[in-house]
Amino acid sequence: MLLPKFDFHEPLTLPEACQMMSEFGRKARPLAGGTDLMINMKKKIVSPEHLISLSRIDELKAAQCSGNMLKIGSCVTVAELTESELVRKNCSALCTGAKALGSPLIRNLATIGGNIASARPAADLPPSLMAYNAKVVLKKSSGERLVLLDDFFKGPGLTELQADELLTEIQIETPPPYSGCGYINMGIRKAQDCNIVNVASFISLDAPDGLIKTARIIMGCVGPKHLRACSAETFLIGKKASEELFAQAGEAAMKDCSPIDDFRGSAEYKRAMVGVLTKRTLAMAYEEVRSEN
C-alpha cells in the first residue's frame, strides 16, 4: 500500500518545528507516532505535501510535576503513560485509558498529543483527560495559548488547532484531596478494538466522608465529539455518594448523550451502556476517594 509523495522534515527543536509549520501552513502535517496519520495517508484520505516529524524534539517527550501541575509533553508515548509512576499516582484513570489503547505495538508509537489532535470521538485518552479538567498548550512561532480540552474538540477530526499550531503540552492540576476518577472502555475485544462506548467520571468530596463538591462525567462514542454529561454532573453536586445515587446519575447521563446507530451497536444499546458505565465509573472514582483515606 503506497504512501502518497511528500517532503519529510525532522526538526530538532520546537522553535524550528514552529518555523516550519508557519512556513508550510496547510500544506504540512505534524507527524508524531504516525499510527493515525500513516493510515489516513495510505487510504489517501489526506496527502500533505510536507510531513514535519516531531519525534526528535526532546522537549516534547518529558512528563514532570512542578508544584501542583502535571505537565505531559505531547510526544510522550502511550506506552510511557502506562509505565509512568507520576501518571499512575496523580491520574490513575489516564493510565487505565492508556493501557486500553490499541496493542503493545501501537502503544510504543502512539503519542498522547496524536490521540488528542486526531479528535476521534472513540479515542481512549480524552475522556479521562477531560475528567481531570486538562488543558492543552497550542504553540506557534508568534506565541502560545492555553485551551481547556473541553473547548478544544469541535467535531470528528475537528479541533481548535490552527494550521500553523502545534499541540506541545498537556497540563493537569493534580487532583484535590478526597477525589477520584474512573474510566471504562467497552468494546468487543481486549486489544486492537474501536470502543463501542467509553466513559470517564471524576468526583471530589468536600471532606473525607463528605458531600460531592465537583463532578465531571465524559462520554465517548455517543456524539460528534466527547460529551459532558451535564445534567448528571449537576445532579450529583451537594449529595452523598452511594450506589443508588450513581445509578440515578447514570440514568441522567443517558439523556445527555446523542448516540447513532452503526455497525458497532444501536443507538439504544449505546445509550443504555452510557447509563451502566457512568454508574460503574462513578463507583470506581468513589472507591479511589476511599482508598486514599
Partner 1 sequence: MKKLISLTVNGKSYQIATEPNQTLADLLRYELGLFGTKKGCEMGDCGSCTVIMDGKPVNSCLVLAMQANRRSITTIEGLESEKGLHPLQQAFAEKGAIQCGFCSSGMILSAKHLLDKNPKPNEAEIRSAISGNLCRCTGYQKIVEAVKGVRG
Ligand X SMILES: Cc1cc2nc3c(=O)[nH]c(=O)nc-3n(C[C@H](O)[C@H](O)[C@H](O)COP(=O)(O)OP(=O)(O)OC[C@H]3O[C@@H](n4cnc5c(N)ncnc54)[C@H](O)[C@@H]3O)c2cc1C
Q: Per CB under 8 A, which region of 6-14, 17-25, 124-132, 223-231 contacts partner 1?
A: 6-14
Q: Phi, psi at residue 40, to the nearest 5°?
A: -65, -30
What are the residues whose beta carbons fall under 8 Å from the beta carbon of 43, sequence distance 6 or more?
none
- Strand-pair category, 28-31 with 158-159: unpaired
Tell whether residue 139 is a contact of ligand X (CB under 6 A). Answer: no
Q: Which is nearer to ligand X, 124 or 233 (CB)?
A: 124
Tell whether residue 254 is a contact of ligand X (CB under 6 A). Answer: no
Q: Closest approach of Cβ 132 to ligand X, in Å?
A: 17
The whole-angstrom separation of Cα 83 and Cα 131 is: 21
Tell whether residue 53 is a contact of partner 1 (CB under 8 A). Answer: yes
Q: Which is nearer to ligand X, 36 or 233 (CB)?
A: 36
Tell whether residue 3 is a contact of partner 1 (CB under 8 A). Answer: yes
The whole-angstrom separation of Cα 80 and Cα 62 is: 10
Largest CA distance in the chain: 60
Specify the residue for cell string 448528571.
Answer: 232
Q: Which is nearer to partner 1, 2 or 207 (CB)?
A: 2
Which residue stretches of 46-201 are H helix?
A: 78-83, 85-90, 92-100, 104-109, 112-117, 126-131, 149-152
Amino acid letter, 152 = F
HSE toward the beta carbon, residue 92, CA cutoff 13 A: 17
Tell whether residue 34 is a contact of partner 1 (CB under 8 A). Answer: yes
Report which secondary-structure segment, H or E, holds 274. Answer: helix 267-292
Contacts (CB under 8 A) with partner 1, residues 124-163: none
Q: Closest approach of Cβ 204 to ligand X, in Å?
A: 26
Q: Is 52 helix (H, G, I), strand (E, B) or coil?
A: strand
If binding means CB under 8 A, how many residues of this protein chain bind partner 1?
30
Number of H-type helices and E-type strands within the chain:
12, 14
Q: Per CB under 8 A, which region of 49-57, 67-75, 139-147, 218-226 contacts partner 1?
A: 49-57
Q: Closest approach of Cβ 286 to ligand X, in Å?
A: 26
Q: Per CB under 6 A, which region of 4-12, 107-115, 221-229, 256-264 contacts ligand X?
A: 107-115
Binding track, positions 159-178, relative to ligand X; x by CB under 6 A? --x----xx-----------
Q: Closest approach of Cβ 153 to ligand X, in Å?
A: 13
Interface positions with partner 1 (CB under 8 A): 1-8, 10, 31, 33-35, 38-39, 42, 51, 53, 55, 79, 102-106, 108-109, 190-192
